[in-house]
Homo-oligomer: A and B are copies of this chain.
Amino acid sequence: MTNRVFNFGAGPAMLPEPVMQRAQDEFLDYRGIGASVIEISHRSREFMDIIEAADALLRELAAIPDNYRILHVHGGAQMQFSAIPMNLIARNPARKAVYAVSGNFANLAAKEAMRYGEIDTSCNSAESNFDHIPEFDARTVDTESSYVHITSNNTIYGTRWHAFPDTGEIPLVADMTSELLSRELNIGKFGVIFASLQKNLGPSGLALVIVREDLLGYALPETPGLLNYRTCADKQSLANTINTFAVYMMKLVLEWLRDEGGVKVIERRNAEKAAILYDVVDGSDFYLGTANAPDRSHMNVTFNLAENNLLEAFLREAEANGLYALKGHRSVGGARASIYNAMPVEGCRALADFMRQFERSHA
């Protein structure tokens, strides 16, 4: 094997080693056709088999009901910040929506939506630098709202919605970029779920959109053709040339996840991984968790060093120990360990050991 590190980067993030190995092995010659998977038509039989297999696996692993469509849309989650209001805000002629602002990406999504309608951002935890999930009160939601938007996991701040709000008849839209397929979900509670691939699903440049069928058909007339969910659904996401490499890699990741035992198994493993790191943080005054404990993420573990001037040494020595990309986001500072599905338990153990050792030698 190679000298691969434990990569704690927030995304584009590490992918499972067997997936990377497989992709490398067949990179020049996909299943004996004499060409790479990235060199063939998105309408070839070989590629159609890939996207159909990916969708079938996704439907099985995420338990997606029949009345939901799976779309693959260019541009990652952030393109969805535009696509969501363009496709949904006109459900009600009042053109209103509610955005729960639990972090930077939620905030960007809300700002983008303001181009297209009237956005309520009163559910907001900006005041405490998003160190917790804001309280959501369904009674305050304007009944004319076309949808309610949440960001299920906040990569930068290390928080997540442990339970999801009940929005009644108003569709709940969730950006699940850093969580999809890391925990079991009742998809039926959501109107739309979307996610970039580059955390738990594959490389960057594509988003997965899971949309309830009755929400198709409300796009604003100025919606770019490729962002129109109705068109994407009608054309099976192949209105134009898709990011074929990303779809291919996603299929390999989904096969890996199935072989690991599926979402229930990985969710338990993710909880175990997170606990290994939070235990170190909580068991010491040397490290300080930055997120409100009940809202803590299982994907991104954020913490500071009590002695902030030791941070640089911490990051440098971690890297020298094969623990890569632990620097926190500039808006929180400190350190962040992103431990998506592909991070093995051993990676978290290695980091926990390093943290204890670093504390012993610097406390």
A35 at the interface (CB under 8 A from B): yes
**How many angstroms from the CA of A34 to the CA of B320 in the assembled complex?**
12
A85 to chain B, nearest CB (A): 10
**How many angstroms from the CA of A83 to the CA of B222 in the assembled complex?**
11
Q: Are A28 and B20 in contact (CB under 8 A)?
A: yes
Q: Are B9 and A40 in contact (CB under 8 A)?
A: yes
Question: Which residues of chain B have C-beta atoms less than 8 A from A33's C-beta?
Answer: 5, 324
Q: Are B29 and A240 in contact (CB under 8 A)?
A: no
Q: Are B2 and A75 in contact (CB under 8 A)?
A: no
A201 at the interface (CB under 8 A from B): no
Q: Are A9 and B39 in contact (CB under 8 A)?
A: yes
A81, A205, A222, A242 — which one has the most chain B CB atoms within 10 A of its CB?
Answer: A205
Q: Are B41 and A325 in contact (CB under 8 A)?
A: yes
Q: Are A204 and B5 in contact (CB under 8 A)?
A: no
* A12-B244, A74-B76 given; A38·B203 CB < 8 A: yes
Cross-interface CB contact of A246 among B5, B86, B205, B249, cutoff 8 Å: B205
Q: What are 16 of the A-B contact pairs (CB < 8 Å)?
A: A4-B34, A4-B35, A7-B34, A9-B44, A11-B41, A11-B241, A12-B41, A20-B28, A33-B324, A35-B324, A76-B240, A115-B222, A205-B206, A205-B241, A245-B245, A245-B246
